[in-house]
């Protein structure tokens, strides 16, 4: 239960709905507990034929008044508990999402998206249930049980109550034990269902791969296995629920039998009246019901606190990268970059991804980075964005250690186009602007023109308002990359990093875009990571990385004059070009 302490402030802020809800619930229980007594009195009156007619009318009005009171009280307690729990759900989701966005990328390298989604849905729901149902059931149990017991003891018979309650503890135990097992099986049902839907989704998304590798039969088989596992998990759940339901039914029947035998005897002996007997038949439900409920309360809170613990673990995770206490108050970066003796490992037990890197890029100059796949090019870009922990005294921008530059300033001043472009399911305009501010369309169009995508956007029926993604147009790989470039350009950054982001366009288009950007980047610093010589040849300096180390550096001409990776790459690409022109 300690896990729930984090919700303290929420309860304080929402104390009034809870207080009103609790008062309504207590009053409702009192009213409900009185109904069977009333029915007992009516029965006795009718049986003895002693009740005057106006008394009967009085009872009728009492029942009607009670119904209205129940209606009002029920509304208030449900709004107080259930309604406020929905607020809690809303706030928890909002806070969890905000927290997930401040966590560092490395966190996501170690946590599966599916698990995080499950926390945002199932766990928050379990907490809401525990607060809404758990709290009300608990209160209901205490108040309804106590009031019913008092009325029974005072107006009917204590012994009858005790005898009728014999199956109660068994019911409680069964609910606790079965509840735990049901929860476990329900978890398996959810897992099996998630696995099955994942399989279906993957196949639909990857339909082209499935078809081109003629894997339909194999995939149907795999799906069938997942479908069967889902069926079996559900059957296990149905079996358990059936046994549980039947056991509860038997105990309830035993209680009825006891009440008939013992209560009937008391009526025959004239210890209690027939009206008392009728009333008791309802009270026994009100006494056993809360005991069963209590079993559920135990379960609901167990489940809720496990969920709360998982959510708390995420919420307590500190982002690996935050502004250090000694950040410098700087809003704009000009773009003088210096990297000295930089060695970087993603984890202690891994080989360094970058080794002893020394680079200087003066403001307005262009650095190009080439090298085999996996040599550390993207790592360099990641570190310049401070997405991972940068060793002290290794990267400086405008002479300031990157660790002392506010993250907001750093990232606002860098236009970064990653290798794997990501576009949201919204309009092209919104994707390029990517800001809550109202950006004028001319600015967006200017950026799109520089990125060489404007004409194609205008070719779509809805132009810049074209919706992307599942409900709209699917862009080609090259179109996506250019949209992402437009997004980076629109930021008007002083530093631009293009991480192999033109791989999906042909060499000619790439050259055209880089020519456009050249003008734009005149007084800005740029870093171009590419596999293509044509993209890097005009850079002020080109470095060649190999296994995290700089193995060559110089201008295009200088590198061509030396034997090594760069010259080999150049020759290979020349050859490809010649073959293409001959064709
Ligand atoms: N988050 C990570 N955790 C652990 N290792 C990583 C991580 N990201 C990259 N690496 C490793 O670091 C090395 C450099 O990777 P990086 O992505 O920088 O290469 P790259 O030169 O950009 O490759 P490519 O040209 O294929 O994009 C690789 O060995 C890679 O496996």
> 506 and 486 in one domain?
no
pLDDT of residue 521: 83
- Residue 206 CA to ligand 1 centre (angstroms): 25
Domain around 392 = 348-413+495-583
**3-state secondary structure string across 530-579:** CCCHHHHCCCCEEEEEECCEEEEEECHHHHHCCCCHHHHHHHHHHHHHHH
Q: Give the whole-angstrom CA distance, residue 524 versus residue 407.
A: 19
> 454 and 399 in one domain?
no
> 527 and 394 in one domain?
yes
Q: Is residue 470 scored above 70 in pLDDT? A: no
Whether residue 233 has its Cβ less than 6 Å from ligand 1: no
Confidence of residue 495 (pLDDT cuts 50, 70, 90): very high
Q: What is the pLDDT of residues 98-152, one digit of tens each?
A: 999 999 888 888 887 777 887 888 889 989 998 998 888 888 888 888 888 998 8
DSSP element (H, E) containing 274: helix 274-316
Instruction: Supply 48's token pair.
Output: 């003895």
- Lowest mean pLDDT across 126-130, 183-187, 335-339: 183-187
Q: Give the whole-angstrom CA distance, residue 279 versus residue 16.
A: 36
In the chain, the number of structural domains is 3
Whether residue 109 has its Cβ less than 6 Å from ligand 1: yes
Eight-state DSSP code of residue 263: I
Dihedral sign (CA 331, 337, 342, 344): positive
Q: Of 293, 316, 339, which marks where a domain is finished?
A: 316
Q: Is residue 336 part of a domain?
A: no
User: CATH code at 96?
Assistant: 1.20.1560.10
- Residue 375 CA to ligand 1 centre (angstroms): 7
Confidence of residue 16 (pLDDT cuts 50, 70, 90): very high
> 579 and 499 in one domain?
yes
- Residue 373 CA to ligand 1 centre (angstroms): 8
Q: Is residue 340 part of a domain?
A: no
Q: Is residue 216 part of a domain?
A: yes
Q: What is the mean pLDDT of the chain?
A: 89
Average pLDDT, stretch 254-264? 91
Find out whether 17 and 80 touch, Cβ atoms under 8 Å. yes
pLDDT of residue 437: 85
Q: Is residue 469 scored above 80 in pLDDT? A: no
Confidence of residue 375 (pLDDT cuts 50, 70, 90): very high
Q: Is residue 294 part of a domain?
A: yes
Specify the residue with its C-alpha closest to ligand 1, atom 17: 378
Average pLDDT, stretch 327-341? 94
User: CATH code at 569?
Assistant: 3.40.50.300
Q: What is the pLDDT of residues 68-88, one digit of tens each?
A: 999 999 999 999 999 999 999
The percentage of the chain sitting over the pLDDT mark of 70, rounded to a whole number, equals 99
DSSP element (H, E) containing 526: strand 525-529
Whether residue 373 has its Cβ less than 6 Å from ligand 1: yes
pLDDT of residue 357: 95
- Residue 354 CA to ligand 1 centre (angstroms): 10
- Residue 496 CA to ligand 1 centre (angstroms): 20
Whether residue 530 has its Cβ less than 6 Å from ligand 1: no
**3-state secondary structure string across 346-406:** CCCCCCCCEEEEEEEECCCCEEEEEECCCCCHHHHHHHHCCCCCCCCCCEEECCEEHHHCC
Whether residue 375 has its Cβ less than 6 Å from ligand 1: yes
Best residue among 109, 342, 378, 380 to mutate for probing ligand 1, ranked by most atoms within 8 Å of CB: 378
Specify the residue with its C-alpha closest to ligand 1, atom 26: 373
Whether residue 264 has its Cβ less than 6 Å from ligand 1: no
């Amino acid at each position: 239960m300690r896990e729930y302490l984090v919700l303290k402030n929420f309860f304080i802020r929402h104390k009034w709905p809870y207080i009103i809800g609790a008062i309504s619930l207590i009053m409702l229980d009192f009213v409900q507990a009185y109904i069977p007594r009333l029915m007992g009195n009516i029965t006795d009156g009718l049986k003895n034929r002693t009740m005057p007619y106006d008394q009967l009318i009085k009872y009728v009005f009492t029942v009607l008044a009670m119904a209205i009171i129940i209606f009002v009280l029920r509304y208030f307690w449900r709004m107080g508990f259930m309604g406020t729990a929905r607020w809690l759900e809303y706030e928890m989701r909002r806070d969890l999402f905000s927290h997930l966005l401040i966590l560092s990328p490395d966190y996501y390298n170690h946590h599966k998206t599916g698990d995080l989604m499950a926390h945002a849905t199932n766990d928050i729901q379990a907490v809401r249930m525990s607060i809404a149902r758990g709290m009300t059931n608990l209160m209901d149990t205490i108040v309804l049980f106590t009031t019913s017991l008092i009325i029974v003891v005072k107006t009917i018979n204590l012994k009858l109550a005790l005898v009728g309650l014999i199956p109660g503890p068994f019911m409680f135990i069964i609910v606790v034990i079965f509840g735990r097992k049901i929860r476990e099986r329900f978890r398996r049902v959810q897992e099996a269902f998630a696995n099955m839907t994942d399989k279906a989704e993957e196949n639909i998304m990857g339909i082209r791969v499935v078809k081109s590798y003629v894997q339909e039969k194999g995939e149907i088989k795999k799906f069938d296995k997942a479908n069967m596992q889902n069926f079996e998990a559900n059957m296990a759940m149905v079996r358990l629920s059936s046994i549980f339901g039947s056991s509860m039914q038997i105990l309830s029947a035993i209680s009825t039998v006891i009440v008939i035998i013992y209560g009937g005897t008391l009526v025959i002996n004239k210890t209690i009246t027939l009206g008392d007997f009728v009333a008791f038949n309802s009270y026994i439900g009100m006494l056993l019901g809360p005991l069963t409920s209590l079993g559920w309360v135990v379960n609901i809170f167990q489940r809720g606190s496990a969920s709360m613990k998982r959510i708390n673990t995420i919420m307590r995770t500190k982002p690996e990268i935050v502004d250090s206490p000694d950040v410098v108050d700087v809003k704009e970066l000009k773009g003088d970059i210096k990297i000295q003796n930089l060695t970087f490992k993603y984890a202690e037990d891994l080989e360094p991804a970058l080794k002893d890197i020394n680079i200087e890029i003066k403001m307005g100059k262009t650095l190009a980075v080439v090298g085999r796949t996996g040599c550390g090019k993207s790592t360099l870009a990641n570190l310049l964005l401070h997405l991972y922990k940068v060793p002290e005294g290794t990267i400086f921008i405008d002479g300031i250690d990157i660790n002392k530059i506010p993250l907001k300033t750093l990232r606002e001043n860098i236009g970064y186009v990653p290798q794997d472009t990501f576009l949201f399911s919204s309009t092209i305009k919104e994707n390029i602007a990517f800001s809550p501010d109202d950006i004028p369309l001319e600015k967006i169009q200017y950026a799109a023109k520089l990125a060489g995508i404007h004409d194609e956007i205008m070719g779509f029926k809805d132009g810049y308002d074209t919706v992307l993604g599942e409900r709209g147009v699917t862009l080609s790989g090259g179109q996506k990359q250019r949209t992402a470039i437009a997004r980076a350009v629109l930021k008007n950054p002083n530093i631009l990093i293009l991480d192999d982001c033109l791989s999906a366009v042909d060499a000619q288009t790439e050259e055209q875009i880089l020519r456009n950007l050249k003008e734009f980047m005149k007084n800005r610093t740029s870093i171009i990571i590419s596999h293509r010589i044509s993209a890097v040849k005009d850079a002020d300096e080109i470095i060649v990385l190999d296994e995290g180390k700089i193995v060559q550096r110089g201008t295009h001409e200088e590198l061509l004059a030396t034997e090594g990776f760069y010259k080999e790459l150049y020759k290979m690409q020349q050859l490809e070009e010649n073959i293409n022109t001959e064709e």
